[in-house]
Structure 1
Amino acid sequence: MEFKTGHRFRFLLLGLIGLTVLIAGFANWRAQAAALPQVDAKAAVLLDPATGKVLFAKNPDTAMAPASTTKIMTAILAIERGGLSQTIRVSPNAVGIDGSSMALASGERLRMEDLLYGLMLVSGNDAAVAIADAIAGSEAEFARLMTAKARKIGLTNTNYKNPNGLPALNHYSTARDLAKLTAYAMRNSIFARIVATKVKTIPGSKPGETVTLYNHNKLLWRYPYTTGVKTGYTLTAGGCLVAAAKKDGATLISVVLKSNAIYDDSIKLFDYGFKQKSGSRS
């Protein structure tokens, strides 16, 4: 009888211990789930570029219209081709493009570097076409080079049809691919310098004239750790923002696509990510 009672007691004790562990694990899971940022974006990714680890993901591999975040690829491709000081003659094809622009005139001459500032700060759709025509002779050929570059750096769910991200059939990317692309691009010091610039004054089309460009990426003002990168918007794509931030030596890249709150979403992701990074170091 004593043996049976002791046997039952041991089983009861083990059961209570197991239940306690289960409850504690469930509570921890609920706490972690509650701590995850709630974002408006249809798709989002938070990437640690140093490790390649994805810290947050929401529909990361859903193909979506990337809008002007397309220009990240346009810029890095142009930078890697070199010749930033070369003078580019604006092609007629680049004039009068819909959406945001530098208001370029046909035949106007600018340095490639100044076009890149216009591309990435004021999101010049005309600048994108001028760059594409200068490098590849046409938008279509430049888009082919963009897609080839995407494959080369491991972007498997991205396809380009133009250099500016205006709506086009089979022009798409994913939050994961955009994060990977940005991690790659931000390793280039010229790219990183351009996208971190809040305000840039460049020569105008007339002698002695200057033009001041203000970065459309308001996160550079709203979140003190921001180091770039690119906004985007079309009716199809909705609000898009690819951003990078650095805090206490740690760098993170966030992507939000089709969001009504691109800045709030991005700040939530960064705050979450930096808290995770801080916790892992303590």
Structure 2
Amino acid sequence: MISLTTNVCIVWKRLILMIAFIGAIIFGTSVSHAAYIAPPSTIGEAVVLIDADTKEILFAKNPDKWMHPASTTKMVTLLTALELKGTQLDELATISSYATSMEESNLGVHVGDQITLEGVLEGMMVASGNDAAVVVAENVSGSVENFAKDMNRVAAKAGAKNSVFLNPHGLTQMGHHSTARDLAMIAAYGMKYQMFRDKVANDYYKVPYQNRTPETIRTTNHFIRNKYPGANGLKTGFTNAAGECLIASATRNGHTMIVVMLNDDNRWDEAVQFLDYGFKLRGVI
């Protein structure tokens, strides 16, 4: 015969198990909901958010679609120049009439200007100068055609797999294309180097002409202008074929996020939303 004490023990055990089961359901559900963070919506044609430190893709929309990169190409131009001429940037650049014939946007260099290759690079990134991009190409590799070959080699080294660069400025040219994923990989590769980081983060730059009055210019990158917390680059782009493009990066607590947006009319607002999303995923904000 089972004692009353035994019955009480059985009831208590069942009650405890039931409470534990209900608690697991309630708190387990709460934790799973808290852990999920919904990504922002985007109107961009191709978008990639990458953790620059781990190279993990945190969001992707059409990441491998061939796209016109417009002036985001100049990020690759910068990286190529630094890879090939990083220790010789104080050399005076030769400026050709071909370089000065480029359509806008331009830095405004003239044939005969005395300016270092570093000055041209800085001006290219801040003003998004197509003329400056050609000056870089001609002084680093001898010609635009040779420089394009170097660009493709450096891009592949950085992790690009589906890009073909035919010019240093990004003006529309048949066959010149990249992808959001490739540009994200190239940007993450470049941000490992201090010289690269220094040249993609400028709001203002005083172009150091040696033969005429130095000219102060301001970046075309409103993401940097708007002072997003931790903003440190990278590059804008626009052509009729490419639409509005942006590569935006920010670092918080030593952690760097990069978002690439191609053909995105809402690039400024979405850059903030995607970077916030990335930092939230990493527990930074």
The two structures have a TM-score, normalised by structure 1, of 0.85
SS across alignment from 1:278 = coil
The one of 179, 188, 195 aligned to 1:190: 195
Pair 85,205 (structure 1): closer, same or farther in 2 beyond 3 Å: closer
Shift of 1:135: 1.5
Task: Among all aligned residue pairs of Structure 1 and Structure 2, give the percentage whose two residues are the same amino acid.
Answer: 38
Which residue is equivalent to 2:4? none
- The range that moved more, 148-157 or 166-175, is 148-157
- The range that moved more, 114-123 or 198-207, is 198-207
Which residue is equivalent to 2:171? 166
SS across alignment from 1:55 = strand
Contact 1:45–1:179 (8 Å) recurs in 2:
yes
Which residue is equivalent to 2:225? 221
SS across alignment from 2:258 = strand
Contact 1:92–1:107 (8 Å) recurs in 2:
no
Which residue is equivalent to 1:156? 161
The one of 133, 136, 140 aligned to 1:131: 136
The yes-or-no answer on 1:42 pairing with 2:45 is: yes
The two structures have a TM-score, normalised by structure 2, of 0.84
Which residue is equivalent to 1:81? 84
5+ unaligned residues in a row in structure 1: which ranges?
1-16
Number of positions where the alignment pairs a residue of Structure 1 with one of Structure 2: 257
Contact 2:68–2:242 (8 Å) recurs in 1:
yes
Contact 2:145–2:166 (8 Å) recurs in 1:
yes
Contact 2:51–2:58 (8 Å) recurs in 1:
yes
In the TM superposition, 1:1-282 aligns within 5 A as 32=36, 35-82=38-85, 83-204=88-209, 206-207=211-212, 209-222=213-226, 223-278=228-283
Deviations 1:179-220 (A, max 9, x none): 10001111111110111111111223634x110021111111
CA–CA separation in structure 2 for the residues paired with 1:158 and 1:109: 34
Shift of 1:269: 0.4
Q: Pairwise CA RMSD of aligned residues?
A: 2.2
Contact 1:42–1:59 (8 Å) recurs in 2:
yes
5+ unaligned residues in a row in structure 2: which ranges?
1-20
CA–CA separation in structure 2 for the residues paired with 1:154 and 1:55: 17
Contact 1:43–1:256 (8 Å) recurs in 2:
yes
Deviations 1:88-115 (A, max 9, x none): 1101110120121011112322101100
Contact 2:250–2:256 (8 Å) recurs in 1:
yes
SS across alignment from 1:40 = coil
- The range that moved more, 129-138 or 226-235, is 129-138
CA–CA separation in structure 2 for the residues paired with 1:63 and 1:134: 29
Larger-gyration structure (1/2)? 2
